[in-house]
Amino acid sequence: MIFNYITSVLLIVLGLYTVCAKRNLIKIVLGLGITDYGINMLIVSIGYNYGGTAPIYAQDLFNVGNSTAFVDPVPQALTLTSIVISACVDAMALALVIMVNKRYKSIDANEIRRLKG
Amino acid sequence: MNYTHFPVISVMGLFLGAFLVEVFGSKNKYIRNTIVLLITTCAAGLMLYLVKPVFIDGQIISYWMGNWEPVEGYAIGIGYEIDALGMFFVILTVLTIWLAAVYSIKYMEKDSHLGHYYTLFLMLSGSVLGLVCTGDIFNMFVMIEIMTFAAVALTAFRNKKGAHLEAAFKYLVVGCVGSGFTLAGIVLLYMQCHTLNMAQLASILHGNLTPVSVLALALMFTGFGVKSFIVPFHAPAADAYMSAPTSISMVFSGIVNKAGVYGMIRLLFVVFRVMDISSVQIMVVLFGVVTMFIGVTMALAQHDFKRLLAFHSISQIGYVITAVGICSMKGVVSGLFHAANHTLFKGLLFLCAGAVLYSTGTADLDKLGGLSKKMPKTTICFLIGAFSISGLPPFNGFASKWMIYQSLYDKAVTTGNFFYIFALVCAVVVSVMTLASFIKVTQAVFFGQTPAALKETHEVPFLMRLPMWIMSLLCVGCGIFYRFTGNNLLLPAMKSTFNITSYIDKMMGEGTAAASGIENITIHAETGFEYWEPVIWLVLFVTVLLAVFIVTLIGRRDRGKVLSTKEEADGKYATFFSGEKSSHSHVAGSDLFWGFKRNWKGYFNVMQKFHSGNVNDYSLMAVCCCALVIVFTYIVLL
């Protein structure tokens, strides 16, 4: 289980590093995506019980044994919401990058800085 | 009447309106305007109906989605809960939404694709309203994300210019880094408490802060900081306010950054209850002081009308954060008061900037001038807004700023901490600089000579003036009838910030708060409304104004005349040269404070690097600030 947390923190840090250090706008968008994946992994890991079953109330239908070892269903619902939201982020950010590229003829963050000071 | 359904109907109504506009209103402007006005008026009406139960009867409105009530003390559904604090922000939200909708009708007339504009506008409104109504912390996150998307899309709405797209991209990147922090904080809290309901979180977290929940606090504080654009995160805000259509700039400064402030108050005062620790107070006040100082000094260096107002908006949010961070009763009252006043006067100023942009087609201070003859009504509204934001009595800005000074002074006396004296001095200096900056704007836009290009300028239509007049009236009214506002709105809101037992009990059942050891504190009846006598100040103000008026009348006759192109090129009629040709320097109206800027060259050079315009730098600042906040909270709280 501890590996899940380590991996998710590594993904978040990697994503934030990409956002902060890479000059290419596409890479910045990818960095945002990686950060979101890291957070999603964190959420799923929090809800997981080792050896737990699917969170379906099925004790009477199937004999699945110990029904207390459910996996927590709430984080899975949160992850779905979060995945939808991060898909929206990526779509919108990429659309903006395309438009920026049309106007500036560049996707280098160093050249896209008319608004400053 | 069963009014517990009203909040959810309002929020859903605004989102439903967004779809209806997209489906039915993209072709026909009459259908579109009818839908928008109807929906926003209904939302405002339904929410304002709750003023009486919440503020006067002292009730708390709670609503469980799908009637999923708590089982065995655990909240399992999404709950809406509106106490006086939430209701206070609800009033600001519905007011701003309605005025912005009315203003948009004429202001956006000449743009294309207005169906999309109103869809995004209604989504933005609905998300902010949902954010202040909700009692569920994950629902809050979802609303924040909808808010960010709608705001980013609206920033890029007029995408003919590259700069607007650039601003939207920066806003999106920094905003998403902030939302990521918030989400990480929320799931860490869920890991500790296994609930997402804020009332239940408050009762569980009271008195047992674990390292994980402290980390969650730091992450969520940073996340809401990004949404309220306090200083290390403010750079994209200036770009976005400048690039968005003006009706949206007003919504941004009126409610979008207030949503961040609301989140912070909810988090620090209600969910975690860490504000009674003096180091946390110092941290919040420090954020506020830095925000107001950097905001106002950057505003002095601007040449674009809307960008200047944007930096002032950031600076005024600094006042709100400072006052809230003091955490005395008077401090919180003054902070909430200033938040409301900021919504009013900054909205008014943005609307005036929009009117100027609508009539002249430019927001560049160097190209504007002498509009007071062409647009007298806009000028009056602008002056009211400028007086309010600069803190001149008897306008509302003075009332709240005066209370903030008082509470800072009281705090310095009671704690004996020198830092609060420093904060007080900063607050006063910032107020002076705000006044100076608005003298510059007024001179550059409304007085002085009219450039030849602006000869054919006309006053804006009535539908645009109506929101401006309403805002102006409220600015004056809040300043003069401060006692009425204070007793009826601010005191209940402040009480619900400090006393959260009824907030918890209403949601989770009677006795929950007492079981986890949360008690009410006594609120003193006096909270410092007796600070000044408005009538005397009004007389003084009118006298001074008369004096200035008479001196102006007996002055030169040719003031305000339109220059011919030849005279303009000559340069001797430029502002402050009064017909004598200057031989060495050229000072435009917008450069009134060039001496000041020259003296502070070192500071401004540093600030220039700070606002580099590079999106990597902005996100790096956000991440570094988050790291510092995490370290600080760990040192202080564990």
| Tally of domains within chain A | 1
Phi, psi values for residue B364, rounded to 5°: -85, 120
What percent of chain B stands above pLDDT 70?
A: 91
Between B120 and B373, where is the model more confident? B120
Return the number of CB contacts < 8 Å for A and B. Answer: 120
pLDDT of res. B111: 87
Return the exposure string of B236-268: e unless at least 16 CB atoms fall within 10 Å of the residue's CB, then b: bbbbbbbbbbbbbbbbbbbbbbbbbbbbbbbbb
**Amino acid B138: pLDDT:** 94
Which of B21-30, B257-266, B339-348 has the least mean pLDDT? Answer: B21-30
**Mean pLDDT value across residues A100-111:** 91
Question: Quick one: pLDDT at residue B154?
Answer: 94
Reply yes or no: is the peptide bond before residue B394 cis, omega within 30 of 0: yes
| Two structure tokens written together for B403 | 């209370």
For residue B42, give every residue at least 6 positions away whose Cβ sits within 8 Å of its Cβ, in sequence order, or none.
B10, B13
Q: Give the residue, B276 or B37, on which the prediction is more confident.
A: B37
Residue A111 belongs to some domain of the structure = no
83-142 in chain B: CB under 8 A from chain A: 138, 142
Range of the domain at A81: 2-104
Average of per-residue pLDDT values in chain A: 87
pTM: 0.91
Tell me the shortest Cα–Cα distance from A87 to chain B, in angstroms: 12
**CA B337 to chain centroid:** 12
Residue-wise pLDDT for B499-550, tens only, equals 888 899 988 888 888 888 888 877 765 555 555 556 666 776 777 777 777 7
- Is A80 within the bounds of a domain? yes
- Give a yes or no: residue A35 inside a domain: yes
Q: Judge whether A74 lies within some domain.
A: yes
The CATH code of the domain that includes A86 is: 1.10.287.3510
Q: Phi, psi (5° rounding) for residue B570?
A: -60, -40
CB contact under 8 A, A93 and B173: yes
In a domain, A11, yes or no: yes
A54: left (phi over 0), alpha (psi -120 to 50) or beta: beta
**What pLDDT was estimated at residue B440?**
86
Q: Which of B13, B240, B27, B243 is nearest to B116 (CA)?
A: B27
- Residue B82's H or E segment, with its range, is strand B79-82
Say if A82 falls within a structural domain. yes
Mean pLDDT of B145-173: 92
Q: Does a structural domain hold residue A91?
A: yes
- Please report which confidence band the pLDDT of residue B316 belongs to, taking 50, 70 and 90 as the band edges: very high
In the block, tokens 């005062």 appear at B269
A112 occurs within a structural domain = no
Instruction: Measure CB to CB from residue B623 to each of A20, A32, A109 and give the nearest one.
Output: A20
Per-residue pLDDT at B585 exceeds 50: no
pLDDT digits (tens, 9 = 90+) for B218-242: 999 999 999 999 988 999 999 999 9
Alpha-carbon distance of A10 to B434, in angstroms, equals: 45
Residue type at position A51: G
Measured CA angle at B503 (ends B203, B497), to 5 deg: 95
pLDDT value at position A102?
93
Q: Is B199 helix (H, G, I), strand (E, B) or coil?
A: helix
The region that residue A39 occupies, defined by phi over 0 for left and psi between -120 and 50 for alpha, beta otherwise, is: alpha
Segment A99-105 long-range contacts (CB within 8 Å, at least 24 positions apart) = A99/B156, A99/B159, A99/B165, A100/A25, A100/B162, A100/B165, A100/B166, A100/B169, A103/B161, A103/B162, A103/B165, A104/B162, A104/B166
B623–A104 CB contact, under 8 Å: no
Query: Can you give the pLDDT at residue B583?
Result: 47
User: Buried (b) or exposed (e) across B7-39, using 16+ Cβ within 10 A?
Assistant: bbbbbebbbebbebbbeebbeeeeebbebbeeb
Q: Is the pLDDT of residue A51 over 90?
A: no
Q: Between chains, do A43 and B187 touch, taking CB under 8 Å as contact?
A: yes
Choose the mutation target among A24, A94, A115 for the interface with B, i.e. most B CBs under 10 Å.
A115
